[in-house]
Amino acid sequence: MSTPVITIADLADHTDQEVTIRGWVYNWRKKGKLRFIILRDGFGYLQCIVFRPEVDEAVWETAVELTQESSVRVTGRLVADERAPGGYELKVTALDPVHISPEFPIGKKDHGPDFLLNHRHLWLRSKRQHAMMRVRSEVCQSIRDFFYTRGYTNIDSPILTPAACEGTSTLFETDYFGEPAFLSQSGQLYLEPACAALGKVYCFGPTFRAEKSKTRRHLTEFWMVEPEVAWLQFDGLLDLAEEFLSEIVSRVLDRCEEDLKRLERDVSKLEPSTRRPYPRLDYGDAILKLRELGSDVEHGDDFGADDETILTRQYDQPLMVTRYPAAIKAFYMKPDPADPTRALAVDVLAPEGYGEIIGGSERSDSLEHLERQIAAHDLPKAAFEWYLDVRRYGSFPHSGYGMGIERCVTWICGVQHLREAIPYPRMINRLYP
Ligand code: 4AD
Ligand code: MG
């Protein structure tokens, strides 16, 4: 029988067997007649031991030749060993070097963020980035499962659009056969008509903001998930956002234990976010609280990043700030019937100072109100006629929100900057690689 080729994810099924694993040399060290090769194959890490007296001289010579990130097929006997990292070791019998790598640019010494970002394509091989990408993937899958199991239909919104959704100051303009077109800032406007067709819908894709700011919370290209639900009103929207976030956090805690450990994430800080309800705070009360905490924010202002940080330090769960002044929010939001200067809007602010991760609202269902808003925001009405049709033909209450995936992943992983939460970050001064 030929030796089975397995991955490091499947070690447990092959204890005491001879196996072959294909991967890259993550690290190695020597000790007399021993070579320890830490092999990584994308699924995990495995210590492979070459003991000179027990292998052919050619195998020993290959072991000596292998450098960091050389690609190799390793064959040996898999033994369980409690002392080994991961609980297994491979006693090497054969080594097939596929490619000997010259000196890998990312070594053990500390590299600055610019160097690492210029080598993002190689940086992804590091343990920490591996863990981040695994968490991101779990977050995305849990989102799809959340909506799928609740009967939502996935609707893909276009990337090339004729008009703005979230304000004209962050639009990426491009030439569309002689006409201006804009990269989508949000799929929302396209979801609203779709929820009249399908009831509960969501989109999940890349969105673009020509953010001139260089903060750690802004990317120019980021991924957003946006549900939109027919007949859902403001209170139901708050419940949905809460159920959604608590489920994502629970699932990542459940399935990404190893990755979070590798990221040295203090998971006790995430556990409260698996529990519901989350605290809810009216915008007016949030302003009072912020002023008590020493901020000079005024009623009517949007919160700055510092305000969000000091406010959320008061809670160990995501904080839902509701009913913002209509004047500082998007044109499509429904005014609060109890006080039309306020919008039925919610921002969900992550704990530990991570800031806004979700923004949403009940949508205006009045044609007249939206026509006035489009004029007040100086938007080109002709480009929104199709959107207004949602109010012309069977208008109905509906609500939705958007969550930035990188904001969520950054928080869950406990890292400082959004740039590590996306495989290839795009920022004001970065388009490479
Ligand atoms: O609050 P925003 O601008 O809301 C919308 O786009 C709505 N149309 C969504 C909806 O109701 N369907 O953006 C939503 C979320 C933010 O809370 C944040 O998580 C993320 O998108 N986000 C960004 N993430 C990274 N970089 C940026 N420049 C971001 N801008 C927004
Ligand atoms: Mg927002």
DSSP state string for 331-372:
TTBPEETTEEEEESEEEEEETTTTEEEEEEEEBP--HHHHHH
Sign of CA dihedral 55, 61, 63, 69: negative
Q: What is the DSSP letter of 15?
A: T
What mean pLDDT is predicted for residues 388-417? 98
What mean pLDDT is predicted for residues 115-140? 98
Supply the mean pLDDT for the chain.
Answer: 97
pLDDT number for residue 101? 98
Among 19-23, 104-108, 164-168, 372-376, whose mean pLDDT is lowest? 164-168
* Residues of the chain above pLDDT 90, percent: 95
Cα–Cα nearest to 202, from 244, 260, 239, 263: 244
To 5 degrees, how large is the angle CA 165–CA 167–CA 168? 105
Under the phi-then-psi rule, with left for phi > 0, alpha for psi from -120 to 50, and beta for the rest, what region is 264? left
* Residue 213 in this model has a pLDDT that exceeds 90: no
pLDDT number for residue 412? 98
pLDDT number for residue 109? 83
* Residue 1 in this model has a pLDDT that exceeds 80: no
Query: Is the CB of residue 400 below 6 angstroms from any atom belonging to ligand 1?
Result: yes
Q: Determine contact, residues 23/11, Cβ cutoff 8 Å.
A: no
SS3 170: helix
pLDDT number for residue 358? 98
Examine domains 5-99 and 118-420 and report if their fold is the same. no
* Residue 345 in this model has a pLDDT that exceeds 90: yes
Query: Is the CB of residue 209 below 6 angstroms from any atom belonging to ligand 1?
Result: yes
Cα–Cα nearest to 90, from 23, 177, 178: 23
pLDDT number for residue 349? 98
Q: Note the CATH architecture for domain 118-420.
A: 2-Layer Sandwich (3.30)
Distance (angstroms) between ligand 2 centre and the Cα of 240 equals 17
Give tens-digit pLDDT for 66-99. 999 999 999 999 999 998 888 999 999 999 999 9
Buried b (16+ CB within 10 A) or exposed e, 305-320: eebbebbbeebbbbbb
In this structure, what token pair is assigned to residue 24? Answer: 């890259």
Q: Peptide bond preceding 433: is omega within 30 degrees of 0, i.e. cis? A: yes
Buried b (16+ CB within 10 A) or exposed e, 62-78: bbeebebbbebebbbeb
- Closest atom, ligand 1, to C-alpha of 358: 17
Query: Is the CB of residue 357 below 6 angstroms from any atom belonging to ligand 1?
Result: yes
In this structure, what token pair is assigned to residue 52? Answer: 């000179």
Torsion of CA 194, 150, 253, 272, to 10 degrees: 90
* Residue 161 in this model has a pLDDT that exceeds 90: yes
pTM of the complete model: 0.97
Name the class of domain 5-99. mainly beta
Cα–Cα nearest to 353, from 278, 411, 276, 293: 411
pLDDT number for residue 36? 97
DSSP state string for 349-360:
EETTTTEEEEEE
Sorted by where each begins, the domain ranges of the chain are: 5-99, 118-420
pLDDT number for residue 84? 86
pLDDT number for residue 301? 96
Buried b (16+ CB within 10 A) or exposed e, 125-136: beeebbbbbbbb
Distance (angstroms) between ligand 1 centre and the Cα of 416 equals 18
Query: Is the CB of residue 19 below 6 angstroms from any atom belonging to ligand 1?
Result: no
Query: What pLDDT band is residue 385 in, cutting at 50, 70 and 90?
Result: very high
